[in-house]
């Protein structure tokens, strides 16, 4: 049965927007931040609608579930069924292919996209002894940590931020791990930056494409909601994310591939310039390719394609195939 269309919502309307969100603490915190920003900008109230996704229900590895798209499918189904008006995603969780009938209406200003170490006894990555057990669920992090040659034992883990941190000895839990690597942005949004023992330099561990960014999605034909979301959009963040995700898409790599990309925008002589770095690393850390490119921020998509082509010329496809 087709769900009824929602009532029109306009600026100053008393009818609340329905925001679909995963039910985890991090997801609801992110969604509440967006909801509050919408209300502050437009006066429209927003209610959160928790939605369970396959990724939340399963304990299997992300790669076994078909990649991080499992976290967004149910939210998108709810949008298309008109049971919610918009959804907030961690942008790095989105497949690179566009979703029919939907659009990313806003990309708010990005949090710090770097990875962070939470280790026992306040240790940094370089201070962890050989054989130390470091937990992470991302193949990208696994590959890059192994490539550092520190002799660490990288342990695949799943679970929310609190569950992962609770496994670190001397922090707050059972202590079967010496450290975990997490996205700094998530820790910031949860107010847990005090647990970070080191923010990892991108020269060591390059972030995932779109890490730290949020994507606010709605139906492409919902002009009223798109108009309400427009004030939340940040042009610099959108350009950086477009460059990073274009690199990922051109490499034909999934969200769980050992691919990293990080873009920054700075003022150049002829206007804003975008500096994009990307890498592909063998899962065992034995080999990898890195590259960078610079150009006008408005050429973000072209820069992403060019950098991906360079990486492919230098063996990126073979590295990704071996990792699979």
Has residue 208 been placed in a domain? no
Q: Does residue 7 sit in helix, strand or coil?
A: coil
Domain that holds residue 46: 17-108+214-233
* 142, 288: one domain: no
Question: Which residues contact residue 99 at a Cβ distance below 8 angstroms, ignoring those fewer than 6 apart?
Answer: 76, 217
Whether the pLDDT of residue 60 is over 50: the answer is no
pLDDT band at 268 (very low <50, low <70, confident <90, very high): confident
pLDDT band at 61 (very low <50, low <70, confident <90, very high): very low
Rounded Cα gap, residues 139 and 260, in angstroms: 10
The pLDDT tens digits for 13-32 are: 668 999 999 999 999 999 99
Number of domains in the chain: 3
Q: How many CA atoms lie within 13 A of 103 on its CB side?
A: 13
The pLDDT tens digits for 208-260 are: 999 999 999 999 999 999 999 999 999 999 999 999 999 999 998 766 789 99
pLDDT band at 11 (very low <50, low <70, confident <90, very high): low
Structure confidence at residue 253 (pLDDT): 76
Has residue 146 been placed in a domain? yes
Has residue 5 been placed in a domain? no
Has residue 150 been placed in a domain? yes
Has residue 8 been placed in a domain? no
Question: Which residues contact residue 52 at a Cβ distance below 8 angstroms, ignoring those fewer than 6 apart?
Answer: 22, 23, 74
Has residue 54 been placed in a domain? yes
* 151, 194: one domain: yes
Tell me, what CATH number does 65's domain have? 3.40.190.10
Rounded Cα gap, residues 25 and 27, in angstroms: 6
pLDDT band at 3 (very low <50, low <70, confident <90, very high): very low
Tell me, what CATH number does 275's domain have? 3.30.160.40
The tokens describing 289, both together, are: 């390719």
* 41, 187: one domain: no
* 294, 159: one domain: no
Rounded Cα gap, residues 180 and 198, in angstroms: 11
- The residues annotated with a catalytic role in the active site are 93
């Amino acid at each position: 049965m087709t769900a009824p269309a929602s009532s029109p919502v306009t600026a100053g309307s008393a009818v609340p927007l329905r925001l679909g969100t995963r039910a985890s603490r991090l997801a609801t915190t992110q969604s509440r931040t967006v909801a509050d920003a919408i209300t502050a900008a437009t006066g429209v109230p927003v209610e959160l609608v928790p939605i369970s996704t396959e990724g939340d229900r399963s304990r299997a590895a992300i790669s076994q579930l078909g990649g991080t798209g499992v976290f967004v499918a149910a939210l998108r189904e709810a949008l298309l069924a008109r049971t919610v008006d918009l959804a907030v995603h961690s942008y790095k969780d989105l497949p690179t292919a566009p979703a029919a009938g939907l659009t990313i209406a806003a990309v708010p200003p990005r949090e710090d996209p770097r990875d962070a170490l939470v280790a026992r006894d306040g240790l940094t990555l370089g201070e962890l002894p050989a054989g130390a057990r470091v937990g992470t669920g991302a193949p990208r992090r696994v590959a890059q940590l192994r490539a550092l040659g520190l002799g660490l034992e990288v342990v695949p883990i799943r679970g929310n931020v609190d569950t992962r941190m609770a496994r670190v000895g001397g922090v707050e839990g059972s202590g079967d791990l010496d450290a975990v690597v997490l996205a700094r942005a998530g820790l910031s949004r949860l107010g847990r930056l005090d647990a970070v023992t080191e923010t990892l330099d991108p020269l060591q561990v390059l972030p995932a494409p779109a890490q730290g960014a949020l994507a606010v999605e709605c139906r492409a034909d919902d002009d009223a909601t798109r108009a309400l979301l427009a004030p939340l959009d940040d042009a610099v963040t959108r350009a950086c994310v477009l460059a990073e995700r274009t690199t990922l898409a051109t490499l034909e790599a999934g969200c769980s591939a050992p691919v990293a990309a990080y873009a920054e925008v700075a003022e150049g002589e002829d206007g804003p310039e975008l500096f994009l770095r990307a890498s592909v690393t063998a899962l065992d850390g034995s080999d990898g390719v890195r590259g960078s490119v610079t150009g006008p921020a408005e050429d973000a998509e072209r820069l992403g394609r060019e950098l991906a082509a360079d990486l492919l010329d230098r063996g990126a496809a073979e590295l990704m195939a071996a990792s699979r």
